[in-house]
Amino acid sequence: MAILVNKDTKVICQGMTGRTASYHIERAMAYGTNVVGGVRPGKGGSRHLDAPIFDSVSDVVAGTGADASIIFVPPPSAADAMIEAIEAEVPVVVCVTERVPVLDMVRVKDALEGSRTQLVGPNSQGVLTPQACKLGVMSTVHERPGTIGIVSRSATLTSEIVAQTSAAGLGQSTTVGIGGDPVHGIGFVECLKLFMDDSETAGVVLIGEIGGAEEEMAADYLNSIKASKPVVALVAGRHAPPERRMGHAGTLTLFGRADANHKIKTLRAAGVLIAPNPQDVAGAMRQSLE
Amino acid sequence: MNLHEYQAKQILAGYGVSVPVGEVAETASSAQGVARKLPGKRYAVKAQVHAGGRGRAGGIKIVDSVAAVEKAANDLLGQTLVTEQTGPEGRSVRAVYVEEAIESQRDVYVAVLVDRETSKVSLIGAETGGEDIEERAAAKPSIIKTLMVKPDGSAAKGAFESFAKKLNLTGALAKKAASLFQGLTKAFVEQDASLIEINPLVVTTRQELMALDVKMVVDDNAMFRHQNVRDFQDKDELDPVEMQAQANEINYIRMDGNIGVVVNGAGLALVTNDMLTDAGGVPANFMDIRTTASSLDISAGFDLLLSNPNVKAVLVNVHGGGMQRCDTIAEGIGISIKRCGCEVPIVLRFAGNNADYGRTLLGNYGISYIEAQDIGDAIERVIALVRSEVA
């Protein structure tokens, strides 16, 4: 099963003919990902990396039955690419692009409301179901098929936890990078829900960090259900120096929730096991699974 | 990107928000010259730095004569202003804004930002403004009122007026406030702001609304479509080392310890400094090498770290990913050390994508380093190194 993507997922790429996209799509194909086509306006009818190129997302969906897209479109047009995928009702969309303007993401979130799309990112390394589907740009050195779901705000820490859960013999069901931007697609709560419902996932690792209130929202969600699976969390930035501020408004909407210690306290109160450091994550998970 | 008060007021004035008449000045005599042209007999002389809390820190002076304007400007210019938002190092005052002082009947608080929970543009306000707003809101969160607006900054008919009433702006004032809020949210969206804060928004004795102080931050990621705003950038307000790092695709923050830290990715960088601090070490910096940094970028970042005289040892903690691999980082370190010929001790932990290749490259550059098995081991070793250096 896994979540979001599996070996049957038919993947397309928006902006496929670009240099970065070509590099990563070639690797995804070599990994066994079922890439069925790509989008590049004006180049419809041609082929790239031996896959058919279409002029628009709706064309490629009609032509291939694609059910997931990965976006490598530069920041000025990334939002339009995401909205195009949402309007074409692509079920799972990963946006890798970094530095997308925040207000563009506000428009994208508006388009997502009531849609059939689960958006991952932007500024995300993507989604990986080991040995089945790589809808992302992560390295595939240490991942092993297994039972741990990982949801993370940080790509490098995900690699770190992947390596450890593999070394501990647990492996991963799916890893999801929700992206490092303040406004993004699915978050901790949606991923926790998916992992709780996934028969292949035995436990979930949540990798959070200072800023925003998403860890607190995850804690609220876990409080509202009777979690059937253990959740281990790592929150980065316990000793980070306070950010320089302009004005009061950020503080007035977050009320202390951006702080790492507040997040740790809130998650712990919701029954989450806290790993103080990345090296403790796999051990804590093993213990709680026994 | 942070804007100065006078720049933000200039932008908002274009959206129908009234602001006091004023001009910026970089010398005391030109401050006096500005005051001569202003209407009224009372003046505000305000330090232009990128931080709030200026009033409580003595950065705003209200005076009664042109001569007093010159004196106030003289006092402020060149001073290092330390407010609750600058950090202990403070900010050097290079310009003052001189404007007519406004008689206020009432102070209101208003701000626009993107709410992180709902991902919507959010207008927030409180019926009483002032620099103590955070303390008052912490004691009583319900004083903060919120109106979510549409992605284009507009709101349903009558929504801005009802919001005004929640801030106790009633009658004719409610209508004036509604049109001000409309301009404000429009400015926020059109200018790609991440914050506009008016504190205080005053009700004048003539029952007009006026923005007495404005803070505005514009989204760095949207600069490609705002050349006009880019021209407002005040490089003197930025840390030159951090700015250089940014130009090289590296997020870098100077800290006051003696262990230089080289990490890829913000999350791993935060965790590395957490673990270092837990173990009794003190980081000299925060470094997050972005996925987009080339080996030359990384060498420039490593140069910055080596140029810090406090650095006694360097901890390299890299987990090679799909976009930023160990070999690229090894090459950057190699280039930098070859270039400067310095002999700083390095503890290195490479894992993930191309870790072996990265170590081989460092060997080819003739760089000696202490190899660590994992992060914990790396941290122990670098702390031991620094202790032996200091002893």
Query: Which residues touch B266 (CB under 8 Å, ≥6 apart)?
Result: A154, A180, A209, A236, B251, B288
pLDDT tens for each residue of B288-330: 999 999 999 999 999 999 999 999 999 999 999 888 999 999 9
User: Given B124, B253, B320, which is nearest A253 (Cβ)?
Assistant: B124
Q: Is the Cβ of B85 closer than 8 Å to some Cβ of chain A?
A: yes
Cα atoms found within 13 Å of the Cα of residue B228, Cβ hemisphere only: 7
pTM over 0.90: yes
**To which H or E segment does residue B120 belong?**
strand B120-126
Mean pLDDT across B185-204: 97
Based on the domain organization, do B150 and B12 belong to the same domain? yes
User: Given B113, B253, B320, which is nearest A249 (Cβ)?
Assistant: B113
Q: Check pLDDT > 90 for residue B176.
A: yes
A100-126 CB burial, b ≥16 within 10 A, e <16: bbbbbbbbbbbbbeebebbbbbbbbbb
Q: Looking at residue B237, what is its pLDDT?
A: 86
Q: Looking at residue B9, what is its pLDDT?
A: 97
Cα atoms found within 13 Å of the Cα of residue B318, Cβ hemisphere only: 33
pLDDT classification of B275: cutoffs 50, 70, 90: very high
Q: Which amino acid is at A159?
A: S
- Residue B308 corresponds to which tokens in the numbers above? 């810090």
pLDDT classification of B69: cutoffs 50, 70, 90: very high
Say if A11-120 and A126-289 have the same CATH topology. Answer: yes
Are A100 and B195 an interchain contact pair (Cβ–Cβ within 8 Å)?
no
Local structure of residue A240 (DSSP, 8 states): P
Based on the domain organization, do B85 and B4 belong to the same domain? no
Write down the number of H helices and E strands in chain B.
Answer: 13, 18
Cα B246 to Cα A38, A99, B386, distances in angstroms = 33, 13, 28
Instruction: Please name the residue of chain B whose CA is at the shortest distance from the CA of residue A27.
Output: B322
Based on the domain organization, do B267 and B234 belong to the same domain? no
Q: Looking at residue B278, what is its pLDDT?
A: 96
Task: Quote the CA–CA distance of A266 and A235 in Å, as a whole number.
Answer: 11
Residue B217: left if φ>0, alpha if ψ -120 to 50, beta else—which one? beta
Q: Looking at residue A257, what is its pLDDT?
A: 83
Based on the domain organization, do B54 and B110 belong to the same domain? no
Query: Which residues touch A20 (CB under 8 Å, ≥6 apart)?
Result: A72
Based on the domain organization, do B210 and B358 belong to the same domain? no
Which one of the listed residues A24, A48, A248, A262 is annotated catalytic?
A: A248
Asked if A248 is an active-site residue, the reply is yes
Based on the domain organization, do B151 and B275 belong to the same domain? no
Of all residues in chain B, the percent with pLDDT exceeding 70 is 99
Give how far B86 is from chain A: nearest CA, Å.
Answer: 6
Based on the domain organization, do B148 and B2 belong to the same domain? yes
CATH number of B94's domain: 3.30.1490.20
Q: Which of B119, B243, B375 to mutate to test the interface with A (most CBs of A within 10 A)?
A: B119
Query: Which residues touch A128 (CB under 8 Å, ≥6 apart)?
Result: A134, A135, A136, A138, A140, A143, A172, A174, A175
Instruction: Please name the residue of chain A whose CA is at the shortest distance from the CA of residue B355.
Output: A141
Based on the domain organization, do B129 and B213 belong to the same domain? yes
Are B119 and A246 an interchain contact pair (Cβ–Cβ within 8 Å)?
no
Q: Check pLDDT > 70 for residue B263.
A: yes
pLDDT classification of B391: cutoffs 50, 70, 90: low
pLDDT tens for each residue of B14-27: 999 999 999 999 99
Q: B73, B101, B129: which is the final residue of a domain?
A: B101
Q: Is the Cβ of B280 closer than 8 Å to some Cβ of chain A?
A: no
Predicted ipTM of the assembly: 0.94
Strand order in the sheet with B259-263: B259-263, B313-320, B346-352, B370-371
Taking only residues 222 to 261 of chain B, the set having a beta carbon closer than 8 angstroms to any beta carbon of chain A reads 222, 224-225, 253, 255
Task: Quote the CA–CA distance of A67 and A133 in Å, as a whole number.
Answer: 12
Q: Looking at residue B390, what is its pLDDT?
A: 67
| CATH assignment of A11-120, among 3.40.50.2000, 3.30.43.10, 3.40.50.300, 3.40.50.720 | 3.40.50.720
List the CATH code of the domain at A126-289.
3.40.50.261
Contacts of B322 in chain A (CB under 8 A): 24, 27, 125, 136-140
User: Given B141, B151, B221, which is nearest A100 (Cβ)?
Assistant: B221
Cα B217 to Cα A250, B2, B11, B240, distances in angstroms = 12, 4, 12, 19
Indicate the SS3 state at residue A146: strand
Based on the domain organization, do B80 and B130 belong to the same domain? no
Total number of domains constituting chain B: 3
Are A139 and B119 an interchain contact pair (Cβ–Cβ within 8 Å)?
no
Under a CB-based contact definition with an 8 Å cutoff, are residues A36 and A135 in contact?
A: no
Q: Is the Cβ of B17 closer than 8 Å to some Cβ of chain A?
A: no
Q: Give the phi and the psi of residue A131 in degrees, each rounded to 5.
A: 60, 15
Contacts of B270 in chain A (CB under 8 A): 209-210, 236-237, 240
- Domain limits, chain A: 11-120, 126-289
- Our CA angle for A148, A189, B221, nearest 5°, is 105
Q: Looking at residue A252, what is its pLDDT?
A: 80
Under a CB-based contact definition with an 8 Å cutoff, are residues B216 and B187 in contact?
A: no
Mean pLDDT across B211-217: 96
Structural domain harbouring B366: 240-390
Q: Check pLDDT > 90 for residue B380.
A: yes
Residue A17: closest CA among A84, A85, A42: A42
Q: Looking at residue A82, what is its pLDDT?
A: 98
- What does each of the 290 residues of chain A score in pLDDT, given as a tens digit? 699 999 999 999 999 999 999 999 999 999 999 999 999 999 999 999 999 999 999 999 999 999 999 999 999 999 999 999 999 999 999 999 999 999 999 999 999 999 999 999 999 999 999 999 999 999 999 999 999 999 999 999 999 999 999 999 999 999 999 998 999 999 999 999 999 999 999 999 999 999 999 999 999 999 999 889 999 999 999 999 877 777 788 778 777 788 999 999 999 999 999 999 999 999 999 999 98
Based on the domain organization, do B110 and B95 belong to the same domain? no
Based on the domain organization, do B269 and B292 belong to the same domain? yes
Q: Looking at residue A42, what is its pLDDT?
A: 93
Are A75 and B224 an interchain contact pair (Cβ–Cβ within 8 Å)?
yes
Based on the domain organization, do B7 and B145 belong to the same domain? yes
Mean pLDDT across B210-224: 96
Q: What is the rounded radius of gyration, in angstroms, for the C-alpha atoms of chain A?
A: 19
